[in-house]
Amino acid sequence: MVFSSYVFILAFMPIVLAGYFLLSFLKNSIYQRIFLIAASLFFYGYYNIKYLALIIASIAVNYIVASQIQKSRGNKLSKYFLSAGVVFNVALIGYFKYCDFFIENINLVFGRDFALRHILLPLGISFFTFQQLSFLVSVYKGEEKVERLRDYCLFVTFFPQLVAGPIVLYSEMIPQFKDESRRYFNANNFAAGIYLFSIGLFKKAVIADTLALFADNGFGMTNLGFIAGWITSLSYTLQIYFDFSGYSDMAVGLGRMFNIEIPFNFLSPYRSESISEFWRRWHITLGRALSTYVYKPLGGNRKGLVRTCINLLLTFFVSGLWHGAAWTFVLWGMLHGAFAVVERIAGKRLDAIPKLIRIFATFMIVNALWVLFRAEGFSQAIEVYRGMLAFGNMEISQLDTIVGLVGYMKFPMIANCVYILGLEAFLLMIVFKYKNSSVMLQQFTATRKNLLSASLFFTVALLCLTRESVFIYFNF
């Protein structure tokens, strides 16, 4: 089940909200939490019931390990239990996400012919595994406490952040569910939540899914010209922006409807003046987790410039591999790391470059690297890069195919060119100029204008759900 689907919007969401707040009339808040756990497990199992047992087993094992770490904290056993927990989680994600990747590379390097397993990737496994792994480390450090199993289950499964983040901390979430004042329906929070959810739904269903058509068609072509190459890359750059921004808005909005404040995971990343800043604005909680559990344990920036640069590269290597089991993802991560290293070496000398040039250069780097992220292989990425560098080929006939109107609706080629260039220019203006969702939520009041805007966004998005598709980050 995805947020941008009729079954979620018209059935699951209203039923769960109604059930949750009806249970607030009971004296004990435990029933509300148990209800949310059951609803969240149903939400997860609806996608593929076979993997419901997997997430339950993962929760059970990690809870037992965390309990043992807490009980034995202060002696050597706690480290052994932590090591066992790390091995379990790495093995779990390694099998389901990287098994075929390892087999392919073994076959390639050693000339073998081992059969691929073709394992269906469990929804959100990278997120709930990383979240639980971070919890084990936090318990080991004494930063978190293991409480009741039901609270731990809710921490892992709360459906607004279960399958694509944000990667939250136990201490960020569970105290809110225990806060007596948050148990009851709050009209202001509900209105703010619906407002943000509607904006996110519009970003996904209307904008991102339209751009997905352009990007998919462009990446599926060969011999791209200059204009088609740039349209293809920019289409995906904008698609993933509005797709992930839309998901983040919907997750935060859903949480707010339940009076729960989920951290924003997205803060106008394309306005960044450097790659390092980009990663402080894009997938914020993943960056926090990688910094806390990978970069800092490696030594961070405490052991000299050379070691700092190596630590940055290793952290971005993990980031690339976390995103996907393919060498294109690994190279994507490593190149981000390489630019971060250059920035670290250059230091404050980069401040001499005008701000607008720094923003433009960062955006162009990010746009170019998204090609690797989206491509199904290096050959497909090279096709797009060739098009982006084909200065002598300004052919616009390929835009008919990219726009996807061939066969049932045809416009003059120049009209397609104006349409797609105009659309992407308008969207770029929104990306760089319009206030982001965090600011919009802070400034939100339940005025007639805002409620009408939310209704318009919601209605238009609902009409576009006939082309329902999963969020890009659901695949990770």
Residue 176 pLDDT level (bands cut at 50, 70, 90): very high
Q: Is the pLDDT of residue 410 over 70?
A: no
- Indicate the SS3 state at residue 223: coil
Position 395 scores a pLDDT of 76
Judge whether 1 lies within some domain.
Answer: no
- List the structure tokens of 68: 């043992």
d(C-alpha 187, C-alpha 184), whole Å: 10
Taking residues 305-329, report their average pLDDT: 95
Does residue 435 lie in a domain region? yes
Residue ending a domain, choose from 159, 184, 209: 184
At which of 145, 167, 184 does a domain end? 184
Residue 241 located in a structural domain:
yes
Q: Are residues 61 and 21 in the same domain?
A: yes
For 37, 250, 256, 274, the CA distances from 288, given in Å and listed in that order, are: 26, 21, 22, 17
Residue 86: CB partners within 8 Å, gap ≥ 6?
133, 136
Confidence of residue 86 (pLDDT cuts 50, 70, 90): very high
Peptide bond into 166 cis (omega under 30): yes
Shared-domain flag, residues 13 and 56: yes
Compute the distance between CA of residue 191 and CA of residue 193 in angstroms, rounded to an integer. Answer: 5
What is the rounded average pLDDT of the residues 206-229?
A: 91
Same domain, residue pair 142 and 221: no
Phi-psi domain of 118 (left: phi exceeds 0; alpha: psi -120 through 50; beta: other): left
Q: What is the 3-state secondary structure (H, E, C) of 287-328?
A: HHHHHHHHHCCCCCCCCCHHHHHHHHHHHHHHHHHHHCCCHH
Mean pLDDT of the residues in the chain? 92
**Could you give the CA distance from residue 293 to residue 318 in angstroms, rounded to a whole number?**
11
Alpha-carbon distance of 118 to 457, in angstroms, equals 39
- Tell me the mean pLDDT in the region 320-348: 95
Cβ atoms of 464 and 205 within 8 Å: the answer is: yes
Total number of domains constituting the chain? 2
- Does 319 or 473 have the greater pLDDT score? 319
| Cis, bond preceding 14 (omega within 30 deg of 0) | no
| Residue 137 shares a structural domain with residue 238 | no
* pLDDT, tens only, 115-126: 888 888 898 899
Is 318:249 a contact under the CB 8 Å cutoff? no
Phi, psi values for residue 468, rounded to 5°: -50, 135
95-111 as b/e, with b when 16 or more CB fall inside 10 Å? ebbbebbebeeeeeeee
CA 263 to chain centroid, in Å, comes to 13
pLDDT for position 408: 40
Residue where a domain terminates, one of 164, 184, 204:
184
Same domain, 305 and 416: yes
| DSSP assignments along 429-464, one per residue | HHHHHSPPHHHHHHT----HHHHHHHHHHHHHHHHT
283 classed as catalytic: no
Same domain, 382 and 245: yes
Render pLDDT for 311-320 as a digit per residue (tens, 0 to 9). Answer: 999 999 999 9
Residue with tokens 């238009």: 460
- Together in a domain, 419 and 471: yes
Per-residue pLDDT band for 407 (boundaries 50, 70, 90) equals very low
- Total residue count of the chain as it appears in this document: 476
Q: Look at residue 346 and tell me if it is in a domain.
A: yes
Which residues make Cβ contacts (< 8 Å) with residue 191, sequence separation at least 6? 444, 446, 450, 451
Under DSSP, the state recorded for 222 is S
Query: How high is the pLDDT of residue 204?
Result: 95
Are 314 and 295 within one domain? yes
Do residues 268 and 200 share a domain? Answer: yes
Query: What is the rounded CA–CA span in Å between residue 8 and residue 465?
Result: 11
- Give the C-alpha separation, 189 to 257, whole Å: 6
User: Domain of 175?
Assistant: 6-184
CA 258, distance to chain mean position in Å, is 21
Q: 362-385: per-residue pLDDT in tens?
A: 999 999 999 999 999 999 999 999
The 3-state DSSP class for residue 406 equals: coil
Q: Do the domain assignments include residue 264?
A: yes
The residue type at 256: R
pLDDT in the model for residue 76: 86
Q: In angstroms, rounded to a whole number, what is the distance separating the alpha carbons of residues 238 and 367?
A: 9
Same domain flag for 413 and 447:
yes
Say how far apart CA 230 and CA 108 lie, in whole Å: 33
- The answer, yes or no, to whether residue 278 has pLDDT greater than 60, is yes
Is residue 31 in a domain? yes
Q: How deeply is 419 buried, as exposed, middle or buried, from its count of CB atoms within 10 A (0-12, 13-18, 19+)?
A: middle
Query: Do the domain assignments include residue 197?
Result: yes
pLDDT at 413: 64
Residues 330 and 450 in one domain: yes
CB-based contacts of 11, cutoff 8 Å, min separation 6: none
Both 261 and 280 in a single domain? yes
